[in-house]
A and B are shown apart, each in its own frame.
Chain A
Amino acid sequence: MTTLIPEMFNNRSLLYRRYDELNPQYLELANGAIANYSSADCSSADSAEQLARSALIDLSLLPRLGFRGTNAATYLQQSGLELPERPNQSVAGNHGEQILRLSKQEYWVLGNLQSDNQWLNQLSLASLPTERCYKLFCQDSHAWLMLTGRHLADIMAKVCGVDLRASVFPTGAIAQTSVARVNAIIISHQVNGIAAFSILSDSASAEYLWGALLDAMQEFEGQVVGYSALQ
């Protein structure tokens, strides 16, 4: 049986090599291969504990869509989405996706972490209104990293000047700011009841940001985990 590796697919995360030294097993997902386990003998209990303590995951393969324009809101609502009331807010969608509002007229939809995202894939193929609703390129322009655990605010305080403590940055809040001197969108949410930050940042500097976050996590025994930790 051939071992699955990212190079078997055209669709590759720009971060897949960051898992190389962790001896990962890959899972076919979203027309690519995602690192499933972060090490050969990592049990699910270990992963859960690591997730709760401090973990970093690459979710760049998961689908995401962006829309902008005066007709974007109408189009998305007609597609069945409930939208956040204000910019810099996110809400959960009916299919497990996260809907982000980044400005008055810009919305991103991040795929469900646990499903095959059929609904979102169909939305990506659907026709747009003829005018004033433009699809954005966030699947490729931005990498998707997720940071989890009880030390989120402390870790981010080493790379970001915005107050991200839970008391002022609750679930559903979005910060569009600078992290380790690169632009990033930070979304506060929960994964399996554990506090998490999804960080969307320039894909070309994703490896650099990955390194900066891991460095900041070291103090809290943070580690890279695979996709299976989220299941």
Chain B
Amino acid sequence: MSTVQRLKAPMGLLINRNKSVSFNFEGKSVAGLDGDTIASALLANNSWLMSRSFKYHRPRAPLTMAGQDANTLIQLGGEPNVLADRQNITDGIKVEGQNYNGSLANDRDAILGHFGRFMPVGFYYRSFFKPMGVWDKWEGFIRKKAGLGKLDLEFEPQYYDKKYLFCDVMVVGGGPAGLTAALKAADAGAQVLLVEEQPILGGSLTYNRFDILGCEADELRAKLVAKVVNHDNIDVLLNGVCNAWFTDNYLPVIQGQRLFKVRATECIVASGSFEQHVVFRNNDLPGIMMCSAVNRLMKLYAVKPGQRAVILTGNDDGYLTALALSDQQVEVAAIIDMRPSVANIELLEAVEARGILVKLGHTVYEALATSDNQHIRSVDVRKITAPGQVDNTAMQFDCDLLCMSAGYMPAYQLLCQAGAQLSYDDKLSEFNLSKLPAHLHIAGSVKGIHNLNVVQIDAENAAIKALNNLGLSSELTTPTTCHNKPNFPWPIFSHPKGKDFVDYDEDLQAKDIINATRLGYRDVQLVKRFSTVGMGPSQGRHSALPTARLVANATDRTVTETGVTTARPPFAPEKLAHVAGRIFDPRRRTAMHYRHLELGAKMIPAGNWQRPAFYGAAQNRDQLIQAEAIQVRNNVGLIDVSTLGGIEIRGPDAAEFMNRIYTFVFLKQPVGKTRYAVLTNEHGVVIDDGVACRISEEHFYVTATTSGVDRVYRDMMKWNAQWRLDIDIANVTSAFSAVNLAGPNAREVLATLTRDVDLSSEAFPYLAYRQGHVAGIPARLLRVGFVGELGYEIHVPARFGEALWDHLMAAGKEFDLKPFGVETQRLLRLEKGHVIVSQDTDGMSHPGELSMSWAVNRKKPFFVGCRSVDIVMAQPQTRKLVGFTLPKNSNKPLEGHLVIKGDDVTGHVTSCEYSTAVDAIIGLAFASIDDSQPGSILSIRIDGGQMVDATVVALPFYDPNNQRQEL
């Protein structure tokens, strides 16, 4: 590629001329400078073609040089849809165009541009589905054609995170308004956060020309920036995009790979405005740019944008751009001014003094392309005879650059998200904003103020209002008036041959918008959805204003009545990685966690806990579980049950509270005894269970399920907020570590470690509770029967948990004590027919259908859900949870498999496993009440649609007289 020489300093604010950077574009090496974006480096090498348009695959090049348009979307390595005019170059990056068939320069799909008449607005809503079945043929083709860029499926996630920021005043935009507002607020003592999306402060002061001599911007910028960067009360965040406004000034700002979540007491939006294009035929050719884009190219990147330029303007800014170009030795062939006259005579004289022709009351009617159709070569200029109309006499001006400015649209998005109202001023031909919420202020060109002096006063006014709200100032604001009128009222010149683009992203022409209204889509919201105007990456930054004008005109309404479509976050594209940030996924571990790992446990999640499922390789699951179960049945095993919920109820009304919360009777529960505790909700549904230990008259320690304890605690707190019983409730789940030492030799093992608890069956019978020490560790001991063997649950303060495990494992060595996991425990409790709440129950399970009536005291005056329990249990029962068996060689049903009777689903399997102790497959299932008697047959549909017949049996499957657990 040829390299255009860079403009001399002071052009090139962002580049470092001493550091070259080389990268690859479409297979060719490109030389740039440090600080260049991909787009500026390519333009410096006279390489304009960067992308192909969405529908017609037209050649596209930068329009704004500010990331405000989608013309520069490129593929950067594995990442699609990167804006080339915002992405800095670094050595060795690989850049490719997108959306072409063949090559970027020779896109075979550009032929689609000739078939525009077969693709009228909204054609896809009316095509592709008739005749029936034709969609199947179209879908593959359309999927292949749609979308931009390629995803890298081997992508390695990178580190993104989020951070909160707090300030008194957040100023969005570091241009003249933002800088002034920030200084005013900071001088009065406010803590200010100034957010600017560019790498340097200054906004339009960095590139725009505000005066004939071209000095004002640089001088003002230098003055303001020096004050801001040295101010103790101002924090500056460069390269930060404020991407939304949420209630109470909660604002996300994206910088690099971080999303800042800013909470500002006051917010001043000085976000500026978007320069608007003129609609004429071929207004999308490479070489056609906004005036501001051309100024950015020169001032920021020292790139000469062309050799011979034409300016198309509806305001004085076009003239100032002409002077800027002329300063850099770009020949300005003509200024085509759509206005009939120029108020600023000095400006007119200044351009004429440089030999620049001015054509007033004229417009570009058509841009003409080079022979390869990839750059502008001349413009067809005509006199304007009426809004949108031109006469037939054409003048041709050769050029390789067309700079246009039809006016400005405020960057309204954040403000409309905040509920501001957009109204159109017919006199000024521009939108303005009103009805801002409290604590949100605007200043500068977003407010329609384009005079630098007035901008500064206006910005100070915004700061004063913010300071008044903060109580830091009682100063009054100064009234302002801006006489600048940069918006040309009707910069839309439809061409009979079309290709006069309103929306560059979606390849929408003026006639497309008008035709949408003619098809009945008169509301701008419907126009948007039908035509897709404003739905592309630039989100209406350039299409909203012309669309509003065209729809208003076509539907005989005012532009205010027509409005623009709803602005929703995000303001600029944001990655899912930004939204996700650094994932926080809390994990809880018991004190014995590392002992399980050292023993080779297969760990599984249980809620947000980690628990050992079994000990050994995952592929040997079934054998390991059976071996562990046999160990517990015949000898002794140890399981970590620390995840069990634990709640302390203490106080004079403790027993009364327990009596009201749970279904059983607790008022007379003896001290030193445990009792099964079932919890129902107000619908009478069983929602949790546990064991309640009475430690003293006014002290209960009750366990709950691992996943249910937080809810149980919350419900207890809620109920007692009403009952006001004299108790204290404490969730002590994390405070205690616990194990279950179970098996015929459990007593022997425990006896070696405890001296102050009599472990004999007489002194410490089944269901009793004792306190003492185990290996010197203060412990609560419960005799429980969950797994159906002699068992001791030992609860100790969590700091002793690992030591407890170590002592028990050491003491158990001589008995060949082995650990067992939660999967094994599931099998053991299943052999006893014990229900696991939320495994064997659902949202409708009441005590009756779970055979838990024995745990419900119907005589006491109240427990939570008692009335509902009475009602549901008085109804004819329709289903019941039953035990079933199958011969061991049968195909084993899985949890969730359905119980089928005829054409009906009458239940489902909730638990199922092979049992060595019973030498059969055993399980629990909901079944029809008619099939709940032992001996009944349940037909269960297993994987593959096969049916197996299981036999209902009485529970428990093992040790029916419960002798083993009561040893």
Q: Among residues 182 to 222 in chain A, which have CB atoms less than 8 Å away from a CB atom of chain B?
A: 182, 202-205, 207-209, 212, 215
Taken residue by residue from 253 to 292, chain B's Cβ proximity to chain A (1 for < 8 Å, 0 otherwise) reads as: 0000000010100000000000000000000000000000
- Of chain A, the residue at the smallest CB distance from B587 is A208
Q: Among residues 722 to 752 in chain B, which have CB atoms less than 8 Å away from a CB atom of chain A?
A: 726, 728, 730, 732-736
Taken residue by residue from 139 to 165, chain A's Cβ proximity to chain B (1 for < 8 Å, 0 otherwise) reads as: 111100000000000100111110101
**Cβ of B487 to closest chain A Cβ, rounded Å:** 42
C-alpha spacing A161/B262, complex, angstroms: 10
C-alpha spacing A132/B698, complex, angstroms: 11
Contact (Cβ within 8 A) A10 B589: no
**Cβ of B916 to closest chain A Cβ, rounded Å:** 34
Binds A, one of B163-171, B865-873, B891-899: B163-171
Task: Point out the residues of chain B lying under 8 angstroms from A13, CB to CB.
Answer: 799
The count of A-to-B residue pairs whose CB atoms sit within 8 angstroms is: 110
In the assembled complex, B650 has its CB within 8 A of some CB on chain A: yes
**Cβ of B475 to closest chain A Cβ, rounded Å:** 24
Which one, A137, A167, A204, contacts B589 given CB within 8 A?
A204
Contact (Cβ within 8 A) B588 A208: yes
C-alpha spacing A72/B733, complex, angstroms: 23
**Cβ of A137 to closest chain B Cβ, rounded Å:** 4
In the assembled complex, A108 has its CB within 8 A of some CB on chain B: no
In the assembled complex, A44 has its CB within 8 A of some CB on chain B: no
Most buried by B among A154, A157, A204: A204
**Cβ of B266 to closest chain A Cβ, rounded Å:** 15
C-alpha spacing A207/B609, complex, angstroms: 12
**Cβ of A88 to closest chain B Cβ, rounded Å:** 18
- Of chain A, the residue at the smallest CB distance from B590 is A204
C-alpha spacing A97/B434, complex, angstroms: 56
Contact (Cβ within 8 A) B806 A163: no
**Cβ of B419 to closest chain A Cβ, rounded Å:** 24
**Cβ of A145 to closest chain B Cβ, rounded Å:** 15
Taken residue by residue from 706 to 735, chain B's Cβ proximity to chain A (1 for < 8 Å, 0 otherwise) reads as: 000000000000000000001010101111
- Of chain A, the residue at the smallest CB distance from B650 is A134
C-alpha spacing A223/B175, complex, angstroms: 40
Task: Point out the residues of chain B lying under 8 angstroms from A61, CB to CB.
Answer: 799
**Cβ of A62 to closest chain B Cβ, rounded Å:** 11
In the assembled complex, B594 has its CB within 8 A of some CB on chain A: yes
Task: Point out the residues of chain A lying under 8 angstroms from B479, CB to CB.
Answer: none
Which one, A7, A140, A215, contacts B799 given CB within 8 A?
A140
C-alpha spacing A16/B589, complex, angstroms: 14
Contact (Cβ within 8 A) A163 B166: yes
Task: Point out the residues of chain B lying under 8 angstroms from A159, CB to CB.
Answer: 584
Which one, A7, A11, A132, A158, contacts B800 given CB within 8 A?
A11
In the assembled complex, A230 has its CB within 8 A of some CB on chain B: no
Task: Point out the residues of chain A lying under 8 angstroms from B651, CB to CB.
Answer: 131-132, 134
Task: Point out the residues of chain A lying under 8 angstroms from B209, CB to CB.
Answer: none
C-alpha spacing A130/B276, complex, angstroms: 79
Contact A157-B775, Cβ < 8 Å, known A7-B806, A69-B728, A180-B586: no
Q: Among residues 338 to 374 in chain B, which have CB atoms less than 8 Å away from a CB atom of chain A?
A: none
In the assembled complex, A101 has its CB within 8 A of some CB on chain B: no
Which one, B586, B728, B733, B800, contacts A134 given CB within 8 A?
B728
Which one, A69, A141, A154, A202, contacts B588 given CB within 8 A?
A202
Task: Point out the residues of chain B lying under 8 angstroms from A53, CB to CB.
Answer: none
- Of chain B, the residue at the smallest CB distance from A66 is B730
C-alpha spacing A157/B262, complex, angstroms: 10
In the assembled complex, B161 has its CB within 8 A of some CB on chain A: yes
- Of chain A, the residue at the smallest CB distance from B642 is A204
Contact (Cβ within 8 A) B726 A132: yes
Contact (Cβ within 8 A) B728 A204: no
Contact (Cβ within 8 A) B164 A205: no
In the assembled complex, B577 has its CB within 8 A of some CB on chain A: no
Most buried by B among A141, A158, A160, A205: A141
- Of chain B, the residue at the smallest CB distance from A134 is B728
C-alpha spacing A13/B806, complex, angstroms: 15
**Cβ of B590 to closest chain A Cβ, rounded Å:** 7
Which one, A132, A142, A163, A202, contacts B263 given CB within 8 A?
A163
Contact (Cβ within 8 A) B734 A140: yes
In the assembled complex, A113 has its CB within 8 A of some CB on chain B: no
Contact (Cβ within 8 A) A202 B734: yes
In the assembled complex, A9 has its CB within 8 A of some CB on chain B: yes
In the assembled complex, B934 has its CB within 8 A of some CB on chain A: no
Contact (Cβ within 8 A) A204 B588: yes
C-alpha spacing A209/B776, complex, angstroms: 30
**Cβ of B714 to closest chain A Cβ, rounded Å:** 13
C-alpha spacing A1/B103, complex, angstroms: 76
**Cβ of A94 to closest chain B Cβ, rounded Å:** 27
- Of chain B, the residue at the smallest CB distance from A168 is B166
Contact A9-B803, Cβ < 8 Å, known A137-B732, A140-B735, A204-B734: yes
C-alpha spacing A167/B166, complex, angstroms: 11
Contact (Cβ within 8 A) B798 A141: yes
C-alpha spacing A130/B797, complex, angstroms: 23
In the assembled complex, A17 has its CB within 8 A of some CB on chain B: yes
Task: Point out the residues of chain B lying under 8 angstroms from A203, CB to CB.
Answer: 734-735, 798
Taken residue by residue from 97 to 134, chain A's Cβ proximity to chain B (1 for < 8 Å, 0 otherwise) reads as: 00000000000000000000000000000000001101
- Of chain B, the residue at the smallest CB distance from A70 is B726
**Cβ of A210 to closest chain B Cβ, rounded Å:** 11
C-alpha spacing A181/B730, complex, angstroms: 21
Contact (Cβ within 8 A) A140 B803: no
In the assembled complex, B523 has its CB within 8 A of some CB on chain A: no
Contact A158-B163, Cβ < 8 Å, known A10-B775, A134-B730, A203-B798: yes
In the assembled complex, A136 has its CB within 8 A of some CB on chain B: yes
- Of chain B, the residue at the smallest CB distance from A181 is B584
In the assembled complex, A14 has its CB within 8 A of some CB on chain B: yes
Contact A165-B586, Cβ < 8 Å, known A11-B799, A134-B650, A139-B799: no
C-alpha spacing A47/B423, complex, angstroms: 62
**Cβ of B592 to closest chain A Cβ, rounded Å:** 10
In the assembled complex, B802 has its CB within 8 A of some CB on chain A: yes
Task: Point out the residues of chain A lying under 8 angstroms from B652, CB to CB.
Answer: 131
Task: Point out the residues of chain A lying under 8 angstroms from B161, CB to CB.
Answer: 158
Contact (Cβ within 8 A) A12 B730: no
Task: Point out the residues of chain A lying under 8 angstroms from B777, CB to CB.
Answer: 10
Taken residue by residue from 603 to 624, chain B's Cβ proximity to chain A (1 for < 8 Å, 0 otherwise) reads as: 0000011000000000000000
Contact (Cβ within 8 A) A205 B732: no
C-alpha spacing A165/B609, complex, angstroms: 33
Task: Point out the residues of chain A lying under 8 angstroms from B518, CB to CB.
Answer: none
**Cβ of B889 to closest chain A Cβ, rounded Å:** 43
**Cβ of A76 to closest chain B Cβ, rounded Å:** 16
Contact (Cβ within 8 A) A180 B164: no
Contact (Cβ within 8 A) B799 A212: no
Task: Point out the residues of chain A lying under 8 angstroms from B775, CB to CB.
Answer: 10
Contact (Cβ within 8 A) B730 A137: yes
Contact (Cβ within 8 A) A10 B776: yes
Contact (Cβ within 8 A) B164 A137: no
**Cβ of A163 to closest chain B Cβ, rounded Å:** 4
**Cβ of A70 to closest chain B Cβ, rounded Å:** 9
Contact (Cβ within 8 A) A14 B591: yes
Q: Among residues 1 to 24 in chain A, which have CB atoms less than 8 Å away from a CB atom of chain B?
A: 7, 9-14, 17
- The 9 A-B pairs with the shortest beta carbon distances in the complex, nearest first, are A137-B735, A141-B735, A204-B588, A10-B803, A140-B798, A140-B735, A163-B166, A157-B164, A140-B797
- 15 additional A-B pairs beyond A140-B735, A157-B163, A168-B166, beta carbons within 8 Å, are A7-B802, A10-B800, A11-B800, A14-B799, A131-B651, A137-B735, A137-B797, A141-B733, A180-B586, A182-B586, A202-B588, A203-B798, A204-B733, A205-B589, A207-B589
30 contacts between A and B (CB under 8 A): A7-B802, A7-B803, A7-B806, A10-B777, A10-B800, A10-B803, A12-B800, A12-B803, A14-B591, A17-B594, A68-B730, A134-B730, A137-B732, A137-B735, A139-B797, A140-B798, A142-B734, A154-B163, A167-B191, A180-B586, A182-B586, A202-B734, A203-B734, A203-B798, A204-B588, A204-B590, A205-B588, A205-B608, A208-B586, A215-B582
Residues of A within 8 A of B (CB): 7, 9-14, 17, 32, 60-61, 68-69, 131-132, 134, 136-137, 139-142, 154, 157-161, 163, 165, 167-168, 180-182, 202-205, 207-209, 212, 215
